[in-house]
Structure 1
């Protein structure tokens, strides 16, 4: 296990997070390679509810963003997990999992109702995420959109991420 230090993003981390995110998704499937722009747009819109970095030997090797989402039913205090970035040379070593676990714990402390994620269902089910019938993200195969509830109830409706997710530069 890596000896990671987790902390909240600081002002002078912006460039390192941008570069890390770009590198993390360079060879990823199912991406438009805009994740670094999305994180910046979330930051600029002041919608980074959680922005955690993982450091190893004082170098940022991982980052996770969490931002508010809207649900057509009007459910409040729901958030979206991601993008999650880990430097390619540290992927599959528990960095992303550690970031997800800490982000979910922070959301609970913020009295969040729950969190949604778009991603690999086999990976995110490890954290308690599951497909919720009636909770949808348009134009996405249902098995890749999952949610976790902190109070045991799940809203119904269509989820909308921040406009920042449309960022391309």
Structure 2
């Protein structure tokens, strides 16, 4: 499997991948799924961080995608990123693709000097990568009801000053 930076030509495959990956979780949603639309809107807004929009490729096929976007933590618009969505084709799930994308994203974010990777997701899945509930670090979610699933991973540049209200890129507000 190859992990590489996504490019513009990958957009249709990425959209189809997120649609397939999230359809089982949204059986009552007809038409476009929020996760696929979110990635398209982040791209359209210029808010996909190129070094953190990654595809997993096996035998020439894109089988997974993860992305990250700029975020604001308190008054700091530079230290944290919003991670997600992370999608893997259904027939490739539980084969290490998602884990490889998480590790690659975390490593690249660390290399970029970011202090935190923040996400909304399943704690049982993301805790194995070192993510903790964001509230334990003094980080509050944009929607209070998200707290049980709102997580953060401190990176090398993290300090105790990296706390406060977290705000995703504007595309998240349009969901």
Give the TM-score normalised by the residue count of structure 2: 0.86
Where 2:53 maps in the other structure, the secondary structure is: strand
Where 2:103 maps in the other structure, the secondary structure is: helix
**Is contact 2:81–2:118 with CA below 8 Å preserved after alignment?**
yes
1:145 and 2:142 aligned:
no
How many pairs are equivalent?
Answer: 165
Q: Which runs of 4+ in 1 moved over 4 A?
A: none
Q: Structure 2 residue aligned with 1:24, among 10, 21, 25? A: 21
Unaligned runs of 5+ in 1: none
Q: Structure 1 residue aligned with 2:165, among 152, 158, 163? A: 158
Query: How far off its partner does 1:83 sit?
Result: 0.3
CA shift digits 1:43-86 (9 cap, x unpaired): 11111111100011000010001111112243632101100010
**Is contact 1:62–1:84 with CA below 8 Å preserved after alignment?**
yes
Unaligned runs of 5+ in 2: none
Query: How far off its partner does 1:139 sit?
Result: 3.2
Q: Which position in structure 1 is the counterpart of 2:2?
A: 5
Q: Which position in structure 1 is the counterpart of 2:47?
A: 47
Give the TM-score normalised by the residue count of structure 1: 0.89
**Is contact 1:42–1:164 with CA below 8 Å preserved after alignment?**
yes
CA distance in 2, matches of 1:121, 1:105: 20
CA distance in 1, matches of 2:118, 2:129: 12
127-136 or 83-92, larger mean C-alpha shift: 127-136
Q: Structure 2 residue aligned with 1:135, among 139, 158, 173? A: 139
Query: Higher helix share goes to which structure?
Result: 2
